[in-house]
Amino acid sequence: MKKVITTGKTVELATELALKKLGVPRDRVTVTVLTQPRRGFLGLFGKRDAEVEVEVPQLDPIEETKKFLGDVLSSMSLRDVSIDVEQESDTEYEIKLSGESIGILIGRRGATLDALQYLVNLVANKHSERFLKIVLDAEEYRMRRKETLERLAERLANKALMQKRDIMLEPMSPAERKVIHSYLQHRPDVVTFSHGDEPHRKVVISPKEKKNGEKTRERGGRRTPTKHRS
């Protein structure tokens, strides 16, 4: 909850100053007059400015997020989409969207959904005093995409082993790269590391042993290839 105390020649002027400091409209605040102004004797002695306390009530971050999503859906003429919220922990939520023609919200490889998720997190944290993490999903796309990536990781890891060479995947988002790294981290025969710069950063799957006797090991918290010394 935000609040400021300001002074001015009148209550209205003091309130206007507070609104400028808070950056909110008049209908979003409550105003408490702490001190009434006084002109004083002959306008000089005993003169006193008005003092007010202006407070912005704390809005529910999840409700504000749902309102934001509703506005976005309406602007896209998607009026039959349901918005369901599941609380995973004190600070983590999953918002699930379902309905017809929802593919437009997902976009190519989830790009639109990721962009909307970024905005949703901005809205939620704007209205929260503690950091909130929100995962936005549409028709269980993220689960399906995770399963697809895990199958891809398995297949390409086996290919890397069979051919005894590094396999470089296509560019992926940080979240998708994390799926690949997490899925293969327990395999004793391959390691993974990321290569390149955003937004073209890629996962590389490397067999522990390669054709030329080169070995790959993890060093310094990052998986990097190093030559085997006999």
For 67, the enclosing helix (H) or strand (E) is helix 61-75
The single-letter code of the amino acid at 91 is T
Task: Please tell me whether residues 44 and 66 are part of one structural domain.
Answer: no
**What count of other Cβ atoms lies within 10 Å of the Cβ of residue 5?**
14
Choosing from 113, 139, 165, the residue where a domain stops is 139
The sign of the CA dihedral 166, 145, 198, 222 is negative
What CATH code is carried by the domain that includes residue 123?
Answer: 3.30.300.20
Tokens of 152: 């891809």
Q: Evaluate if pTM is beyond 0.75.
A: no
User: Phi/psi class of residue 41: alpha, beta or left (left: φ > 0; alpha: ψ in -120 to 50)?
Assistant: beta
Task: Please tell me whether residues 160 and 117 are part of one structural domain.
Answer: no
Segments of the chain with pLDDT less than 70: 1, 41-45, 211-230
Predicted pLDDT of residue 212: 64
Task: Please tell me whether residues 169 and 212 are part of one structural domain.
Answer: yes
User: Phi/psi class of residue 130: alpha, beta or left (left: φ > 0; alpha: ψ in -120 to 50)?
Assistant: beta
In which domain, by residue range, is 76 found?
61-139
Give residues with Cβ within 8 angstroms of 60, minimum separation 6: 127
**CA triple 103-109-111, angle to 5 deg:** 80
Give residues with Cβ within 8 angstroms of 79, minimum separation 6: 73
Q: CA-to-CA distance for 58 and 103, rounded, in angstroms? A: 34
Q: How many residues does the chain have?
A: 230
Task: Please tell me whether residues 69 and 134 are part of one structural domain.
Answer: yes
Predicted pLDDT of residue 41: 65
DSSP state of 108: G
The count of structural domains within the chain is 3
Strand-strand pairing, 222-226 and 215-219: antiparallel
Task: Please tell me whether residues 48 and 114 are part of one structural domain.
Answer: no
Q: CA-to-CA distance for 140 and 136, rounded, in angstroms? A: 10
Question: What CA–CA distances, in Å, run from 106 to 22, 148, 167, 201?
Answer: 36, 16, 28, 21
* Span 51-109, pLDDT tens digits: 999 998 888 999 999 999 999 999 988 878 899 999 999 999 999 999 888 888 998 88
Nearest to 176 by CA among 140, 146, 144, 137: 146
DSSP state of 68: H
Choosing from 56, 85, 102, the residue where a domain stops is 56
Predicted pLDDT of residue 223: 44
What CATH code is carried by the domain that includes residue 216?
Answer: 3.30.1370.50
Predicted pLDDT of residue 129: 83
End-to-end CA distance of the chain: 65
Choosing from 139, 163, 192, the residue where a domain stops is 139
Task: Please tell me whether residues 150 and 111 are part of one structural domain.
Answer: no
